[in-house]
Amino acid sequence: MLPTVIWFFVLFGLVVLSHEFGHFIVAKASGIGVKEFFIGFGPTLFSFKRKGTKYSIKLLPLGGACVFEGMDGLVDEKEEKDAQVSEASDEEEEAHSGSFLKASVWARFATVFAGPFFNIILGFIIAFIMVNMIEIRDPVATQVMEGSAAEAAGLHDGDRIISLNGSRIYLFDDISLFNALYNGKDDVLVVYERNGAKGETVLKPLYSEEYGRYMLGISNSDFIDLKGADAFKYTWYEMRYNLKMTYGSLGMLFGGRVKRTDVAGPVGVAVNIVGATYENTKQYGWVTVLVNMMNIALMLTVNLAIINLLPIPALDGGRLLFIIIEMLRGKPVPPEKEAMVHFAGTIFFLVLVVFIFFNDLRNIFGF
């Protein structure tokens, strides 16, 4: 249990830290004041203040925040009274110059966008390390299964899959992802390469009761020996795979194709993913455990980046939407109105967090 908790804290802490650090470093570079930078939620375990910013580590490593000066137009009562009595002095103007709302529109855009962007940067770093440690499979059918959709469509052992329904295939994992996201209805156009020549065929994946998903019916047992710049190329392929997996999963979620038991929050990730991964891989040594934990971190950081960019109030994407509206109309939405929208979004997510928490408990304990 203890190793699972430690790995969970490390993985979530790393992903959240990269996100909030992105906001922080760009805000500082843009002259926006940062009131507090903290990782975790709940009671504060450790904190200190430096150059006007309070840095904190809190008990529950389930998130974090970078709180900017003047965010959402919130103003201290003292400042408001002073503004009514007289004009601000030069010193006061300098103190207010760090307000988020008084920064240029591009500075605010960059500061908000930096959180998800730094998650993507972290993803590239993790993926680069991983591709130099793992065995990568090319999308080659080293074996076409008897009675499979691939066999019926005329695919042969040794065929390289180039694309599926127009989607380029670079890794054998891309084929597995296509199978997982396949809707079970449409025919699939397969472009393949055989003996240096391209060919096309159409098939319909067959559902496997054993694996619980549709499958083309090919397997692969050949691995790539990385050389030279291959590591950079396959780093991008790994990132692309995780981005497609995130978008595809969101599409299935909004399309009603995801069951309640398929949804997991922090508790579910800790127990069902981190815990199960550790228990299933520890017998193979610490390197195997490390690679699998890095894979989870890669999945988490890409998910956090993409979900945060959704144009939903209280998320970075919601804030970016208001900034884009300001760019288009030439003036900002009144701060108090924007603050109300984000407050409503925050309430929605608090309710969602409670639901996901109890859903995790139901999935774990079966009640």
Angle at 210 between CA 250 and CA 249, to 5 degrees: 5
- Rounded Cα gap, residues 294 and 286, in angstroms: 12
pLDDT at 258: 64
Q: What is the pTM of this model?
A: 0.85
Query: For the residues of 288-345, what is the DSSP string, one character each?
Result: HHHHHHHHHHHHHHHHHHHHHTSS-TTSHHHHHHHHHHHHHHSSPPPHHHHHHHHHHH
Residue 190 contacts residue 199 (beta carbons within 8 Å)? no
And the tokens for 282? 């520890």
Q: What is the pLDDT of residues 238-280, one digit of tens each?
A: 999 999 998 888 887 777 666 656 666 666 676 678 888 989 9
Nearest alpha-carbon partner for 117 in 25, 9, 41, 213: 25
Q: Fold for 143-258, please state it.
A: Pdz3 Domain (2.30.42)
Q: Domain map of the chain by residue range?
A: 1-31+103-133+259-367, 143-258
Q: Across-strand partners of 48? A: 55
Beta-carbon contacts of 120 under 8 Å, excluding residues fewer than 6 positions away, are 239, 301, 302, 305
pLDDT at 94: 42
pLDDT at 261: 61
pLDDT at 329: 92
Q: What is the pLDDT of residues 30-65, one digit of tens each?
A: 999 999 999 988 899 999 999 889 999 998 777 889
- Rounded Cα gap, residues 203 and 209, in angstroms: 19
- What is the four-CA torsion angle of 88, 89, 95, 101, rounded to 10 degrees? 30
Residues of the chain with pLDDT under 50: 74-96
Nearest alpha-carbon partner for 249 in 306, 309, 308, 165: 306
- Rounded Cα gap, residues 111 and 83, in angstroms: 27
Beta-carbon contacts of 179 under 8 Å, excluding residues fewer than 6 positions away, are 205, 213, 214, 215, 216
Q: Which amino acid is at 235?
A: T
Beta-carbon contacts of 353 under 8 Å, excluding residues fewer than 6 positions away, are 265
pLDDT at 185: 85
- Rounded Cα gap, residues 77 and 69, in angstroms: 14
For the chain, what percent of residues have pLDDT higher than 70? 87
